[in-house]
Chain A
Amino acid sequence: MATLTTGAPAPPRVAPKPARKRRSWPALIPFIGPALGFYVMFLIIPLIGTIFLSLTDWNGFDFAQIHFVGATNYTALAHDPVFVSALLHTLIFVAVAMVLKTVGSLAAALALNERLPLSTMFRAIYVMPTVISMVVIGVVFDLALSPTLGLLNPLLKAIGLGHATNGLWLDDPHKVLPILILVDVWQNFGIYMLIYISALVAIPDELGEAARVDGASRWQEIRRVTIPMLRSTTGIVMLLSGIDSLKVFATVYVMTRGGPNHASEVLSTWGYSQAFTEDNVGYGSAIMVVLLAIAFVFAFIWLRLFRSKAEDR
């Protein structure tokens, strides 16, 4: 970082360094101490606690009954078919939602960048679902897709497509995961569209102009000049949208509870039911640790990007 600064008033280079350091600690602690205190108490300790509990066998009631069992929970995971499919569903969910959100938000940003009339209105609408609680979105879609009372089946019938489906949506094990992915994409692509729009604004116009002088069409210009210029933004969007999808819980919990028959079970819902419904606190924690491990892979890549970005400044 080029902008590292000192609190002392522009000290001359000859000033003895240790003296300045000793003075800065008492002044520094009231500033970063309180935030760090809450952060460690209520985020870092539960994080370490999850890892600790994953190495124990505990029903969750009596602290005296915590037994350390080593990696037993982790070996048990490999023999739990529901865990394996939950892991698979999570990975599929994250990968597919990430790609769809990236492509969708890029397309929306490029379309809005054409500065056609009503663009601002479209932009505001596209961001709207992200501010609404996932619980609300989940309940609304749950109702809309209900086979008996929902919106979608009468709608399909009205446009003559009623026979194309069996009328089941969230109850169909083959459709439930794709539907949940689409809801996630539908709700959150607007955020990434905003990130793309701000990157598009920053692209110097000379490049596009050069392409136009060479007789490139608008579409060729976008494909050959604009999209390659957005490469680093695309990296950030994929990463952030992946992390975002990894956090999925409320929509699945509200719409399907992981069902039917675990067809939409993801790591967070399976860990939740193991820990709170089945009272397998140790085993539930091990499932959460797997989720954390995936999150840390994303975090590691993000930090690398963050560092290189900081060095660019």
Chain B
Amino acid sequence: MARKHRLPSPGRVTAVLGIYVLMTLVAVSILFPVVWMLYSSIKSNQDILSNVFSLPTSIKTANYHNLFAGGQMPIWLLNSAVITVVSVAGIAILSALAAYGFATFSFRGKEKLFVFCLIGLMIPPQALIVSGFKWMSLFALIGSRWALILTYLGWISFGVLVLRNFFQAVPREIIEAARIDGAGHWRIFSRIMVPLARPSIGTVVVLNFMWVWNDFIYPLVYVNSADRYTIPLGILQYQSRLGVQWGTQMAALSVAAGVPLLVYLIFQRQFIRGILAGSLKG
């Protein structure tokens, strides 16, 4: 919608000012807690307790030292990293394969099976933890990273939806040409479709990264020792409304928020595309 209002009327000037004031207020309400968390993490506990607002006068690394040298933050980061990398890579591979199957084969009950695969998008994960916990304990997996990884590998719905839509849009001519050259399904999938789908796979990876990295309910239930905690569970160890370890807590929160924020800032395009693809508008 191109703007045609060349000469701004007084009414429009007031409206624009009003919009700016509102947009800025909302932006401040978002940025302030985040910035407050970041700068509090380099203040000493006493400084925070004497004035929660004041900016740090000097950079104190004691909180981070507590986390990394004195605490278990390195183990939690490692747990989160291993679980997230393995799960997200698995989700990407599984859903790309399945999406290719749905996009190129025709078989009876295909649409029904596809819809069945989308149920996962609708289910609140916390509704499954009770029986999921018992199911995992049948395999003696409670307490192991595998309980989490296997659970996340069931989260294929989003990837199947996004990648099937992409594969379906690939012009038939490209595939037919490869087929005439004697390429089979595996060759077409790995040499043509996957390279073409790289941006869409990126979208699937970025969104699933956020979901798996930030997941809280499954680690809460499936993990039973502090050395197996993931980041969201680990940071809760410092939660205390009495402010006993306030500085360390702020540092833990900053680390936990920093990773997905960094991924978002770098892969904003993929993230936005993923949101749109998930809303059936992609």
Contact = CB atoms under 8 A, between A and B. Distances in A.
A258 to B, nearest CB: 13
B241 A146 contact: yes
Contact of A292 (B127, B155, B216, B235): B127
A250 interface: yes
Interface in B237-256: 239, 241-243, 246, 249, 253, 256
Interface in A266-305: 268, 271-272, 275-276, 281, 284-285, 288-289, 291-292, 295-296, 298-299, 302-303, 305
Give the one of A7, A134, A291 with max B CB within 10 A.
Answer: A7
Main secondary structure of the interface of A (DSSP, over half): helix
Interface string B158-190: 001000000011001000100110000100010
A38 B172 contact: no
A139 B249 contact: yes
Interface stretch (A40-48, A71-79, A95-103): A40-48
Interface stretch (A19-27, A80-88, A159-167, A173-181): A19-27
A50 interface: yes
Nearest to B153: A38
A31 B101 contact: yes
Nearest to A207: B1
Interface in A184-237: 186, 191, 194-195, 198-200, 203, 205, 208-209, 212, 217-219, 233, 236-237
Contact of B276 (A41, A151, A198): A198
B253 A151 contact: no
A91 interface: no
Contact of B105 (A7, A208, A284): A7
Contact of B128 (A43, A114, A205): A43
Nearest to B260: A131
B39 interface: no
A268 B1 contact: no
A263 interface: no
A46 B131 contact: yes
Given A125-B27, A208-B1, A38 B101 contact: no
Contact of B150 (A1, A42, A132, A140): A42
A27 B185 CA distance: 8
Contacts of B138: 63
A128 B97 contact: no
A136 B34 CA distance: 10
B280 A309 contact: yes
Nearest to A266: B126
Interface stretch (B18-26, B59-67, B71-79, B195-203): B18-26
Nearest to A2: B168
Interface in B88-138: 90, 94-95, 97-98, 100-108, 110-111, 113, 115, 117-120, 122-135, 138
Contacts of A42: 132, 135, 150-151, 153-154
B52 A149 contact: yes
Given A53-B130, A139-B249, A195-B279, A295 B180 contact: no
A284 B98 contact: no
Contacts of B27: 122, 125-126
A237 B276 CA distance: 11
A246 interface: yes
A14 interface: no
Contacts of B118: 303, 306
B12 interface: yes
A234 to B, nearest CB: 12
A139 B275 contact: no
A310 B270 CA distance: 23
A39 B1 contact: no
A306 B280 CA distance: 7
A136 B106 contact: no
Contacts of B232: 133, 135-136, 250
A60 B26 CA distance: 46
B156 interface: yes
Contacts of B4: 209, 212
A70 interface: no
Nearest to A212: B4
A276 B94 CA distance: 32
16 contacts: A5-B172, A31-B98, A31-B101, A35-B98, A43-B120, A43-B155, A46-B131, A50-B127, A50-B130, A111-B23, A133-B213, A203-B1, A219-B15, A249-B216, A250-B216, A306-B118
